[in-house]
Structure 1
Amino acid sequence: MVDSDNTIAGAVAIVTGGGTGIGRAVCLALAARGASAVVVSYSRSTQEAEAVVAELLAAGCRARAVRADVRDESAVAQLVASTISDFGGIDILVNNAGATRMIAFGDLDAITDDDWDLVLGVNIRGAFTVTRAAAAALRRSEGSVVNVASIAGYRATGSSIPYGVSKAGTIQLTRGLAVALAPEVRVNSVSPGSVTSRWMGDLIGEDVAAERREKESALIPLGSVATPEDVAEAIIALIDARFVTGQDIIVDGGKHLLY
């Protein structure tokens, strides 16, 4: 049950991709704001998800880690059902699970059907599948959904063309869901720019990622790339914003204003 004066105190939340990076930061931010329970959904990062659960429990927040590929409707249905069974409902959903492939923009022949299926399947269809499965519970609680998109949804930048297309689609999915689930449920999204996280280091190597972050920081009005906690702060703000729906917030330190 959510406190009428605090949209997060007492809330039950599901965070997909909750074991690392932005997802982990969101889980901990929700606990810090008094969430009653946080379900850390993950697909591969088992140890990391369990570590986040331990942090949440230490903070006094009930928590579980649930393995669920967001493309798998039966796994998603079980994720939602177990959350309701264990914790009584769902108040907050953060669709953070994401996938990409590193493919140079000029190398069109390198983009395969499998690349499209993976990236669109996780980033768009996955977010839709989880939201649809949780919709009835979110309507009952008059809850909130936040999708994690990307600045790549606005500009021809990022890891690959499929990734940018998927994030543009996430922004439009947010708008469509905001209309479909109104007036009970608010649906918004955030579009981070560069973020300091393990994800990019895993893709291109930490040394290369660190060099890229240093160069990019010089182009950002606020002087640095975002941390996962910076993005989590924006997500929390959207959860708190009772009369905002269908909106995307760019979290890039102002870089999009100049480049």
Structure 2
Amino acid sequence: MSKYALVTGGSGGLGAAICAMLANNDYKVIFTYHSNKDKAEKILDSLVGEEHACYQLNVADTQAIEDLQANLRKDNIDIDLLVNCAGTTQFVAHHDLDALEDSVIDKILSVNVRAPFAMTRSFLPSLKKNKGCVINITSIAAKTAMGSNIAYCASKAALENMTCSLARALAPDVRVLSVAPGLIDTEFVKGLDDKWRDQQEQATPLQRLADVDEVAKAVLLAAEHLTFSTGTTISVDGGRPLSN
């Protein structure tokens, strides 16, 4: 019997790779996107298999999450896997406290922390029914405290801590894990300053950045093979914390 996976932020570079990996491994994939409908539909059309779907969703809107859950229930869809991949940030130098405005902090925390909790809470009946799994996409920044801004680092640390709390609270019915990438070699990163990108590679013991498919494989591993693991983080960072 096919399984259903729900992936938030599925139209981003990493989200799209996760959707493809799951579809290639017999999941029926439902993914959400924030605003780029054309891009989402192209990703949807590229997925192997049938019965995949995409939905527009602002993950910071709890009522919208509830509405999505109700729509899926009307179609008799119970998810087996929830991947909380949607996230947000913006670059603010860590030393520039004045530039990290309250509105930026609130947005980061609502999308990166509150939304994964709201998604898990809303879809918990399905996850319990299917003895399912929740995977939160965090970041190396949760441990290194180095990243796009201080609030982003804090949000990913909070999400890893929440992964542990949820794993304890939802056991034995639902497993909850985190996958924590290092800097990923997405199209966005490839468009940044070459010197900075080279510095990031050299600061990583494995001397390169993560590939989106490597992170997607970690998600599949957590969902399908690490069946006695919960409340833990799988790092896909090339050993970067060893250099800090």
Q: State the TM-score bracket (shorter-chain normalisation).
A: over 0.9
Structure 2: gaps spanning 5 or more residues: none
C-alpha displacement of 1:81: 2.3
> Percent identity of the aligned residues?
37
Contact 1:221 1:253 in 2 (8 A): yes
- State the partner residue of 1:249: 234
Partner of 1:69: 58
Q: Distance in 1 between matches of 2:203 and 2:144?
A: 16
RMSD of equivalent CA atoms: 1.4
Q: CA deviation at 1:45?
A: 2.5
The two structures have a TM-score, normalised by structure 1, of 0.90
Do the aligned partners of 1:84 and 1:90 also contact (CA within 8 Å) in 2? no
How far the C-alpha of 1:200 sits from its partner, in A, is 4.3
Indicate how the Cα distance of structure 1 residues 87 and 18 shifts in structure 2: closer, same or farther if over 3 A, else same.
farther
Asked if the contact 1:196/1:213 (under 8 Å) is kept, the reply is no
| 1:187, distance to aligned residue in structure 2 (A) | 0.3
2:180 equivalent to 1:188: no
Deviations 1:142-196 (A, max 9, x none): 0000000111111121000000000000101101111111111000001111001
- What amino acid sits opposite 1:217 in the alignment? E
- Quote the Cα distance in structure 1 between the aligned partners of 2:74 and 2:162: 28
Tell me if structure 2 keeps the 8 A contact 1:19–1:52: yes
Gaps of 5+ in 1: 2-9
Corresponding residue for 1:94?
83
In 2, Cα distance between equivalents of 1:188 and 1:72? 23
What SS class does the counterpart of residue 244 from structure 1 fall into?
coil
Which range is displaced more, 15-24 or 215-224? 215-224
Q: What amino acid maps onto 1:47 in structure 2?
A: D
Q: What is the CA-CA distance between 1:207 and the residue it aligns to?
A: 3.9
Match of 1:51 in 2: 42
CA deviations 1:109-142 (Å, max 9, x no partner) are 1111101110000000011111100011100010
Report if the CA contact (8 A) 1:20-1:48 is conserved.
Answer: no
**Which runs of structure 2 are paired with 1:154-193 in the superposition (5 Å)?**
154-193=143-182
Deviates more, 1:12-21 or 1:59-68: 59-68
Which of the residues 123, 133, 139 maps onto 1:134? 123
Query: 1:85 is aligned with what amino acid?
Result: K
After superposition, the Cα gap between the structure-2 partners of 1:81 and 1:221, relative to the gap in structure 1 and judged at 3 Å, is same
Asked if structure 2 preserves the Cα contact closer than 8 Å seen for 1:12 and 1:87, the reply is no
Task: Report the secondary structure of 1:117's partner residue.
Answer: helix
Q: What residue is the counterpart of 1:22 in the other structure?
A: 14
Say whether the 8 Å CA contact 2:189–2:197 is kept in structure 1: no
Greater Cα offset, 60-69 or 12-21: 60-69
> Contact 2:113–2:159 (CA<8 Å) still a contact in 1?
yes
- Aligned residue runs from structure 1 range 100-249, under 5 A: 100-200=89-189, 206-208=191-193, 210-240=194-224, 241-249=226-234
AA in 1 matched with 2:209: V
Structure 1 residue 16, shift from structure 2 partner: 0.2
Range that drifts further, 249-258 or 239-248: 249-258
C-alpha change, 1:172 and 1:207, in structure 2 (3 Å) is closer
**Matching of residue 42 in structure 1 with residue 33 in structure 2:** yes
The more displaced of 38-47 and 16-25 is: 38-47
